[in-house]
């Protein structure tokens, strides 16, 4: 098979995978939903835990609160620190602090 045809097929396969992923993300159900209560009160319910996060007056305000909760949940999930990253960060800080301390000791040393 021709090299350019193989490259085109590879590019099309990648584009097809991205399209499937984008479609799945688009069709995914939101984590936080707005449920009606009484007297113009709406609750923001977390589907993952089943806990009501907030009770807000007005549907528009409840939708905005649900969207802000969704944004915060996405941010915390993306910025989640695991044990390996934490250990790496601690080792870097220990190395920097020890080098700075060593520098101060070397500058203060008078033979």
Note the pLDDT tens digit of each residue in 61-106.
Answer: 999 999 998 888 877 777 777 777 788 889 999 999 999 999 989 8
Residue-number span of the structural domain to which 55 is assigned: 31-80
In angstroms, how far apart are the furthest CA atoms of the chain?
A: 81
Bridge partners, residue 33, by sequence: 45
Shared domain for 39 and 26, answered yes or no, is no
Tens of pLDDT, residue by residue over 3-51, are 788 888 999 999 999 999 889 888 878 889 899 998 989 999 988 888 8
Question: Do 72 and 94 fall within a single domain?
Answer: no
- Whether 9 and 26 map to the same domain: the answer is yes
Question: What is the pLDDT, as a whole number, of residue 1?
Answer: 60
CA distances from 41 to 44, 55, 88 (A): 10, 7, 47
Asked whether 34 and 62 are in contact (CB, 8 A), the reply is yes
Whole-prediction pTM? 0.52
């Amino acid at each position: 098979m021709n090299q350019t045809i193989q490259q085109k097929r590879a590019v099309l396969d990648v584009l097809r995978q991205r399209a499937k992923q984008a479609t799945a993300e688009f069709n995914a159900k939101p984590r936080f939903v707005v449920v009606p209560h009484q007297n113009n009160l709406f609750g923001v319910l977390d589907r993952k835990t089943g806990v009501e996060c907030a009770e807000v007056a007005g549907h528009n305000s409840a939708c905005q609160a649900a969207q802000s909760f969704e944004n915060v949940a996405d941010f915390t999930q993306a910025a989640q620190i695991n044990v390996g990253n934490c250990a790496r960060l601690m080792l870097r800080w220990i190395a920097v602090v020890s080098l700075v301390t060593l520098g101060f000791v070397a500058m203060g040393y008078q033979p």
